[in-house]
Structure 1
Amino acid sequence: MPLTGVETARMNRKKGDKGFESPRPYKLTHQVVCINNINFQRKSVVGFVELTIFPTVANLNRIKLNSKQCRIYRVRINDLEAAFIYNDPTLEVCHSESKQRNLNYFSNAYAAAVSAVDPDAGNGELCIKVPSELWKHVDELKVLKIHINFSLDQPKGGLHFVVPSVEGSMAERGAHVFSCGYQNSTRFWFPCVDSYSELCTWKLEFTVDAAMVAVSNGDLVETVYTHDMRKKTFHYMLTIPTAASNISLAIGPFEILVDPYMHEVTHFCLPQLLPLLKHTTSYLHEVFEFYEEILTCRYPYSCFKTVFIDEAYVEVAAYASMSIFSTNLLHSAMIIDETPLTRRCLAQSLAQQFFGCFISRMSWSDEWVLKGISGYIYGLWMKKTFGVNEYRHWIKEELDRIVAYELKTGGVLLHPIFGGGKEKDNPASHLHFSIKHPHTLSWEYYTMFQCKAHLVMRLIENRISMEFMLQVFNKLLSLASTASSQKFQSHMWSQMLVSTSGFLKSISNVSGKDIQPLIKQWVDQSGVVKFYGSFAFNRKRNVLELEIKQDYTSPGTQKYVGPLKVTVQELDGSFNHTLQIEENSLKHDIPCHSKSRRNKKKKIPLMNGEEVDMDLSAMDADSPLLWIRIDPDMSVLRKVEFEQADFMWQYQLRYERDVVAQQESILALEKFPTPASRLALTDILEQEQCFYRVRMSACFCLAKIANSMVSTWTGPPAMKSLFTRMFCCKSCPNIVKTNNFMSFQSYFLQKTMPVAMALLRDVHNLCPKEVLTFILDLIKYNDNRKNKFSDNYYRAEMIDALANSVTPAVSVNNEVRTLDNLNPDVRLILEEITRFLNMEKLLPSYRHTITVSCLRAIRVLQKNGHVPSDPALFKSYAEYGHFVDIRIAALEAVVDYTKVDRSYEELQWLLNMIQDDPVPYVRHKILNMLTKNPPFTKNMESPLCNEALVDQLWKLMNSGTSHDWRLRCGAVDLYFTLFGLSRPSCLPLPELGLVLNLKEKKAVLNPTIIPEAVAINQEAANNPSSHPQLVGFQNPFSSSQDEEEIDMDTVHDSQAFISHHLNMLERPSTPGLSKYRPASSRSALIPQHSTGCDSTPTTKPQWSLELARKGTGKEQSPLEMGMHPVASAPLSVFTKESTASKHSDHHHHHHHEHKKKKKKHKHKHKHKHKHDSKEKDKEPFTFSSPASGRSIRSPSLSD
């Protein structure tokens, strides 16, 4: 029997381990989404939503929901009209009049704006007033039904329309639309509670053209056609409580494939791609079986849908019971390279169905648990599918990535909350963005966050065992399954939310182990460990003296105290030792088990039990040590720099069976270019049982060693004879055999060796002629006719090899390069590239891999001075309409050109693309590329750095990217890379950096360059009734009246005084500025207690929509008007400002005449100003809902 409203409320308010205290004064139990009109031509959507909520407090009179971009027509609660207000402070973070241009200020204001509409803080953009007729109903905690009519016109985020501009109907053109976005972005396409912690059941209805298919979450209950058979409505029911953030939609003329192995799984793709879809998804049922087996739990939903779409936001997006993939992942059985990548994407999305969609998170600070678990079980799948070597190589890769990122940026914090539940004031002061909310995070930081989360899960597994780990996951899933079946007891649904404390409690209950120290080390604090190791062998004591130092003072590092495993390979076998790393201990004595006995011939046992014969002639006669490894199992997030002799690295490479050890030794051998290193690497290349990735790394290491040994190298170029022996005809060594890629290991080696060989250089630092001829022959005699696999990736690598062979041009008398005077070798390379590009037009390769390689090769020729540097070709390939990989490669070249040639025109072209390109992924990638390869950085002088560029980028991140969190955070990253945290150096200081009070001989800082913390406090002081989300906006014109004004003559007379004070003109974020605190005349500007943005007192927002900012209530003198360039403002603001300035002349003269009387009447002026602003505040602000024309005046709303 359903509970009454009062019981539901009481249940929902229960606290404790099992419950979850909602930040909202109501509980959402069910939501209907109905989209009854989708227009592909206009890119518009019309529909309504209906939310069923139970109040949990008796005096509920305001309901806050999330909605961005949507035009709200009408709101009704229980069929009564309800007044509503829409206010989104993230549309424009800092008001356009603000002269602030430093990033610290922006980041604080942005974090405040995001918090102001954060559903996890009980906020939202849409605030609905409960009609007074329902107050009694609310006091009894009875159910409310909120009905909202809305439309969406040309959305810039949340929903993405793909409408190809070709002939035919929308279905024939392959037009489709799908939901997308980063983290909780559902608010972009319908009003909802956009929080991962607010679960409810769903009814989803979509009316589309008869030729279209609508795919959404849950079970398809029925499809109903209209009378004229031109439209049909898809009805979906999702009975498992799900967060709005996990709701998705895809509509298009999809081809449908029911999985032949699992009938509850359905796949969808765009027209004509069905054969590729069949092959790509043929493996999915095995992933299902693996996850269900290890978790001992059935897949939680009754169905699963995969949809492959074009222009995807990300390659994989997981939502409740469905995942949206990029259509570029589809491939045929002929393609080798894409197969493992696509399978990994499918497995990733399925792992997130269990942890991420079915089990959701309580708050943002618990995100690491879900990302960690899904990443961890995906790793187990990888180990089972691709083998232990591939798995360990992946772990090593991920570890290297997180270590490099943390050492570069200063640390990734998984859980930005203390154990006591108090939020840290500024948990990541080293970063240029706030980590308290997903929407303020840099995309790269979030990627690394996910990487660290699954590595930490692996550390937990090392501590408690895999068996217990899987039991914990099973327990979480079992509790969630039980809770999800409680249809009428929504208080139980909080069992479907995971929290850090709940997860740790499960671990403690299941394993009985305390992992608190581990959590404190890796989850509650950021940073990785940096070890430096060296050793000496004490022959008398037969002891290995190991010295391990730590660097814990550099950014991104932390101190490690605890166990550390060391593996020592001796003559008698491999021995593990666990050292205890203490506070100050550096040296550790490890007893050796073997005596030095080189003269006795005996097989040497390895770690895996295998016994091998070794040539021990290279080793130290007095020492039984073959090699030493620190932390071989990667059970600490660390970077290890270990010193051992070159012969030890060579033994480790040849005989250690762990791929991570082999990769480490290859990296170390780069520093030892000796014949012995050359031989060890060649041996590895010839060993067929060696892991293919290790052999590929060995190719590049061998090329580096050959270049270092160029003067003493004997014989043919490195790898040439080896390649000839493995892949060329016996009778004619310069002709490669017909392609046969049946052995994937050989295939990867065959396409890597020429690329590495092309990096070889002779004594003149040129690629040897023999190597270039060899690569050109490989291309010439390439024959794929009898091969069952495509050779497109192989041919692309041959072009990469040609590019690698290019060396800088030697120009005589600055001659201009033309086709006639090209170096003959370069001419051959250019001819091959041109031929490949032309062939691609006729017979395009899979994913246009060859075009991509050709574009990169042309850029290499340009950079080396062989062909004129010109971005025109790349710009034509970067246009919308080309395949996305081609566009990215072309854009990479334009970004590089912008940096090398310092071209302002190309930079502008790129920035215009960021604003106007139709594909969100491309816009994101351009920002990413500019950040990684910037045209200039904050520490260098550049002609590109100017005021217009600062304003353009500021506008982009301030208001130009409000529709896409990822894009806005990307713009912030770029701004930080170019200009740093403080005021950009290229901005001119305002004309008067110091305003002088000549009587007291004091200099006062101009309000436009006040430090940000001060500016924020000033705003709070000046405008106590402002919206909380607008705290942090500083009006440059305010408080200017409090200073003594000076006319221009006085200014000219005081030039000497200004130059005397020039050394005080520092940049705005310099902490030292506060020491120039002025006398009492400016005490309103710089308060005595300096607080940050977060601690500003916030007041209840007024019930009005600010269409135009109110005037400051103060007028400026012409001098001050000259000091501040007029900001572009909305028309309504402009007219107010201009009427104010009409009186400013008169005001200035009046003020100048009475300068002497001013002090006497100062308090009167202030009193008058207060009175003026009161009058102004009384003026009622109105706003109208754009569609209905209803105008709501603020007095009727404020009770």
Structure 2
Amino acid sequence: MPEPHTPISSHTPEPRPEFMPIAVHIDFILRSPVDGIQFVLPTGSESYPYRVPHAYTTSSSPDAARCLGMSPTYFSSGGLTTAAQVAHPNNSNKTIFFFSQAVLTFVQHVAFAAGPFHVHPIPTELTSEDTSGISQPLMHAFCLPGHESMLHSSISSLRSAMNFYSTEFGSYPFGSYKVVAVDKMPVQRFDSSTLSIITDSIEQVLETWQALSHALACQWMRINIQQKTWSDTWLVNGLALYITGLFVCKLLGNNEYRYRLKSMPPICQPQHNDPPDSMTLPFVNLKAPLVLHILDRRLGKSGTSPGLPQLQNNALSTHLFLRTCRKVSGIDLRSFAEQWIYGSGCPAFGFSASFNRKKMAVEIMMRQDSPAYKVLEHNKVSKLLHKPVPFFEGQMTVWIHEADGTPYEHILDIRSSFKHFEVPFNTKYKHIRRNTKRYLARQAAAQAAAEGDAEAAEAMGLIDMGFGLEIWEKEKERENWKVADCTEEDEQVMSGATYEWICMDADFEWIATISFEQPDFMWVSQLQRDRDVVAQLEAVNALAKQSTAIISSTFTKTVLVSNYYYRIRCEAAMALVHCAIRKLDFLGLFHLFKLFLRYCYDPEDPNQDLFAHTYVPKPNDFSDLAEYFVRKRPVTAPVPKNVFTVEEVPIIASIVELPESRDLSDNAEDVDVMPRDTLGMFQSLTAAAAHVMTS
């Protein structure tokens, strides 16, 4: 190679002779390994005498031992050779297995496992194979004896994930794929070429599908395609998590996908010069898919979908990735990269809105802070290294739900730390009659139906109540649930509003903390009438900061209405804790206990004293997972320590003893589930009682 800045001659160099490649064989023996191989053995008469002996590779191992006593199954990353199994030349009791890796693979992605595993072939999907015309790779799942019944439900989504990834992101880069569940795994998962070793302690089916889908996605990104430098780790990790999220969206729906994105808190930019350690890697994996999500939103508006070019040595760099995106879409991404990739930190927005009747416009005040820039403002070295920006630039989509019920989209062009926006108003109405006509129509139809009018009874089903709750239409039920109604003063304030509510960042294009001030009744309207799960989650979080009787009733209604997405119902149940205060006579705790009894206990006399009666718990029902998770939430809600008085401590004791009255003779599998669900509530109750007795 010529030296730098040395002119290169223009004539064509002479062709060099080609030589045969040199194969280097290194024979080694590993005795008493400390790290890298995990051996699992029964512990005799101690804690785990019935453990199945097996061994597998991992990133760390606390001990070393020998695996004997049972006929093992061997498998590894790569595939068996033609002469896959031969007898040991010196010991007839030993067998040698030969594996070959056809695709070039980094050494850290070579793994194996050995043990008496049960093998389960994952069948192909004929319909998908016929339509795509692509042969589907072989897939197998392995588990230890005794876990066969749980294996099928755990891997039921793997074939769909394989077909989705192969169709959307290119054919599978290897010949086969294997997943094995092992015991005593120090981490949740260890991904290698064609093989994923996972722990057998994953419980919930939704989280299991998420973990296995991500393990398969890592075969494309992180294993077949590696980061070019350590600072590119965020990209390959983010791509694997991003395509996993797209499959989760297809498998579980858009609500689940958007909820998972929104529930991720904002963090600093993961840009590192050294390999990420166990403390910083979760931050990388958290922000990276969000950065790719907002990048996809911006590229999607240009109508393009860039693909990765041919990569040298399958190594992907941030520079090449951004250059490809810019080349295909024609969008200048320099500002985006400086803010979200090469820079650090996330913005914190503060918004407030008011209606200007003279201009017939909504005035929105925007304030932006960059915490990372403020922290490093006077540190020149750290400022040069982390490259924080004083403010973030971009466009934010705002939806204003005006008086006629129509949402109008507006774009805010953010180019500074402070900005005053004037958004034109479209509706001619000056006041809102919030649900008045619909409520009166419902009341009139209910009264006519009660008097025997068949047509009115039929018309009740035609009135759109949105997220209405039929049982609360009865005045007696409202009294039993202590439902709070708006006062005349509240009605006057609501009637003077000119718009229903405002939703900031409706397209979810910012990784930021957004604080928006609007009255509580607007948040209630957003929760009850907006169909977007992210808007509903924002409303729950905003209302949780304001403790009123109406908000407590709104949260309770949200839990009871099955039309809401189950995660929103769970969040509303947890938010009821904020209404368990003396100012409201602990109304939130009353609603929590009412929900707990409704979902966990058989119906009893509605007029009985809730806190002076013995209830028989219902058995767990897993036929509807959404209802099961909603049922668990009131149980696990933390109870504030200052809730109870000394006189109420005996009531706590009676509640804590409730599980002892359960009859589990017909449901042996339910023995461990209910105590786990109720443990959080019981711990909170006992802690509250102890706080009262010691104070």
State the TM-score bracket (shorter-chain normalisation).
0.7 to 0.9
Work out the CA distance in 1 between the residues paired with 2:534 and 2:121: 41
Q: Where does residue 1133 of structure 1 map in the other structure?
A: none
Q: Secondary structure at the match of 2:362?
A: strand
Structure 2 counterpart of 1:397 = 263
Cα deviation digits, residues 765-793 of structure 1 (max 9, x gap): 8866556534533x244455666974633
Amino acid at match of 2:208: T
CA distance in 1, matches of 2:240, 2:661: 47
C-alpha deviation, 1:639, in angstroms: 0.5
Aligned-partner SS, 2:495? coil
Residue of 318, 325, 328 corresponding to 1:510: 328
Kindly indicate whether the alpha-carbon contact (under 8 Å) linking 2:580 and 2:587 is maintained by their aligned counterparts in 1: no
Q: Does 1:596 align with 2:422?
A: no
Does the 8 A contact of 2:87 with 2:94 survive in 1?
A: yes
Correspondence 1:367 to 2:233: yes
Structure 1 residue 413 and structure 2 residue 270: aligned? yes
Secondary structure of the corresponding residue to residue 596 of structure 1: coil
Which residue of 487, 492, 503 corresponds with 1:629?
Answer: 503
Contact kept? 1:707, 1:760, Cα under 8 Å:
no
CA contact (8 A) 1:739 1:782 kept: no
User: Structure 1 768/514 Cα, relative in aligned 2: closer, same or farther at 3 Å?
Assistant: farther
**Superposed displacement of residue 634, structure 1:** 2.4
Note the aligned Cα RMSD (angstroms).
Answer: 3.8
Q: Is the 8 A contact 2:467 2:529 kept in 1?
A: no
Following superposition, the deviation at residue 367 of structure 1 comes to: 1.9
- 2:179 maps to which of 298, 301, 306: 306
Task: Give the drift of 1:602.
Answer: 6.2
Per-residue deviation, residues 596-641 of structure 1 (Å, max 9, x unmatched): 233596679xxxxx99599993644333122222213321110012
- Is the contact made by 2:85 and 2:97 (CA closer than 8 Å) also made in structure 1? yes
Pair 1:257 & 2:138 matched: no
The one-letter code matched in structure 2 to 1:719 is L
Structure 1 residue aligned with 2:403: 571
| C-alpha distance in 2 between matches for 1:697 and 1:760 | 21
| 3-state secondary structure, aligned to 2:30 | strand
1:1194 equivalent in structure 2? none
1:761–1:767 CA contact under 8 A, matched in 2: no
Residues of 2 paired with 1:240 and 1:326: CA distance? 26
> Residue 144 of structure 2 corresponds to which residue in structure 1?
270
The answer as to 2:448 corresponding to 1:582 is no
Q: Paired residue for 1:355?
A: 221
Distance 1:461 1:766 in 2: 59
Unaligned runs of 5+ in 2: 5-15, 125-135, 377-387, 440-463, 469-485, 607-614
Instruction: Tell me the number of residue pairs that the alignment of Structure 1 and Structure 2 aligns.
Output: 593
Q: What is the distance in 2 between the residues matched to 1:376 and 1:696?
A: 25
Of residues 243, 248, 257 in structure 2, which corresponds to 1:382?
Answer: 248
Cα-to-partner distance string for 1:1111-1156 (whole Å, 9 max, x where unaligned): xxxxxxxxxxxxxxxxxxxxxxxxxxxxxxxxxxxxxxxxxxxxxx
Following the alignment from structure 2 to structure 1, what is the Cα–Cα distance between the partners of residues 553 and 137? 55
Q: Are 1:792 and 2:672 matched, yes or no?
A: yes
Q: How much has 1:741 moved relative to structure 2?
A: 3.4
The answer to whether 1:729 aligns with 2:602 is yes
Cα deviation code 1:390-422 (max 9, x no counterpart): 111110122x1xx2xx3xxxx3333xxxxxxxx
Q: Distance in 1 between matches of 2:679 and 2:71?
A: 44
Q: Equivalents in 2 of 1:714, 1:345: separation in Å?
A: 39
The residue number in structure 1 matching 2:515 is 641
Shift in CA distance, 504/748, structure 1 to aligned 2, threshold 3 Å: same
Confirm or deny that 1:176 pairs with 2:54.
Answer: yes
Query: Which has the larger displacement, 594-603 or 557-566?
Result: 594-603
The answer as to 2:16 corresponding to 1:156 is no
Mapped to 2, the partners of 1:715 and 1:580 lie a distance apart of 41
Q: What SS class does the counterpart of residue 355 from structure 2 fall into?
A: strand
Deviation per residue, 1:842-894 (Å, 9 max, x gap): xxxxxxxxxxxxxxxxxxxxxx89xxxxxxxxxxxxxxxxxxxxxxxxxxxxx
Mapped to 2, the partners of 1:808 and 1:716 lie a distance apart of: 13
Partner residue of 2:379?
Answer: none
Indicate the SS of the match to 2:151: helix
TM-aligned CA deviation for residue 722 of structure 1: 4.0
Q: Per the alignment, do residues 766 and 698 of structure 1 end up closer, same or farther by CA in structure 2, a change over 3 Å counting? A: farther
1:437 CA displacement: 1.9
Identify if the C-alpha distance between structure 1 residues 278 and 756 changes in structure 2 by more than 3 Å, giving closer, same or farther.
closer
Conserved in 2, the CA contact under 8 Å of 1:717 and 1:771?
A: no
Contact kept in structure 2, 1:462 and 1:635, CA below 8 Å: yes
1:741 and 2:622 are equivalent in the alignment:
yes
Alignment partners' CA distance in 2, 1:744 and 1:275: 19
Q: How many Å apart are 1:326 and its aligned residue?
A: 1.0
Verify: 1:447 aligned to 2:282, yes or no: yes
> Which residue in 1 is equivalent to 2:657?
776
Q: Say if 2:545 is the partner of 1:671.
A: yes
Is it true that 1:235 corresponds to 2:113 in the alignment? Answer: no
TM-score with structure 1 length normalisation? 0.46
State the TM-score, normalizing by the size of structure 2.
0.76
Q: Name the aligned partner's letter for residue 325 of structure 2.
A: I
Distance 1:679 1:276, change over 3 A: closer
Q: Report the secondary structure of 1:533's partner residue.
A: strand
Q: Does the aligned pair in 2 maintain the 1:618–1:647 contact within 8 Å? A: no
Partner-residue secondary structure (3-state), 1:266: strand
Residue equivalent to 1:73: none
**CA deviation digits over 1:284-321, x for unaligned, max 9?**
212212222322x3222111111222222321222111
Amino acid at match of 1:795: P
Determine which structure has greater relative contact order: mean sequence separation of CA pairs < 8 Å that are 6+ residues apart, divided by chain length.
1
Among 532, 547, 550, the residue aligned to 2:365: 547
Q: Which protein has the larger Cα radius of gyration, Structure 1 or Structure 2?
A: 1
Report how far residue 693 of structure 1 moved: 1.6
Distance 2:668 2:290 in 1: 39
Task: Provide the rounded CA distance (Å) in 2 between the counterparts of 1:618 and 1:214.
Answer: 75
Q: 2:78 maps to which residue? A: 218
Q: Over residues 808-839 of structure 1, what are the superposed CA-to-partner deviations in whole Å (9 max), with x where a residue is unaligned? A: 67799xxxxxxxxxx8xxxxxxxxxxxxxxxx
Q: CA deviation at 1:721?
A: 3.3
Inter-CA distance 789–648: structure 2 relative to 1 (3 Å threshold): farther
> Who is 2:453 aligned against?
none
Query: What's 1:472 paired with?
Result: 306
Q: Contact (CA 8 Å) 2:642, 2:691: kept in 1 or not? A: no
Letter of the structure 2 residue corresponding to residue 373 of structure 1? L
Residue of structure 2 aligned with 1:245, choices 108, 113, 126: 108
The DSSP-based 3-state class of the residue aligned with 2:171 is coil
Measured after TM superposition, the shift of residue 538 of structure 1 is: 1.8
**Cα gap change, 1:250 to 1:721, in 2 (>3 Å):** closer
Q: 1:751 aligns with which of 608, 624, 632?
A: 632
Residue 207 of structure 2 is matched in structure 1 by 341
Cα 1:226–1:148 shift into 2, 3 Å: closer
Q: State the Cα deviation string for residues 707-735 of structure 1 (Å, max 9, x = none).
A: 25344x57992233344445533345633
Letter in 2 for 1:251: A
Counterpart in the other structure of 1:26: none
Amino acid at match of 2:179: T
1:762–1:810 CA distance, 2 compared to 1 (3 A)? closer
Question: Do residues 326 (structure 1) and 199 (structure 2) align?
Answer: yes
Match of 1:459 among 268, 276, 294: 294
Matches within 5 A, 1:992-1141: none
- What is the CA deviation profile of residues 539-584 of structure 1, one whole-angstrom value per residue up to 9, with x for unaligned ones? 2322221111112254487411221222222212212211111225
- Secondary structure of the structure 1 residue equivalent to 2:306: helix
Using a 3 Å threshold, how does the CA distance of structure 1 residues 147 and 511 change in structure 2: closer, same or farther? same
Q: How does 1:697-1096 map to 2 (within 5 A)?
A: 697-711=571-585, 717-731=590-604, 734-756=615-637, 758-759=639-640, 762=643, 764=645, 770=651, 773-774=654-655, 776-777=657-658, 779-783=659-663, 790=670, 792-807=672-687
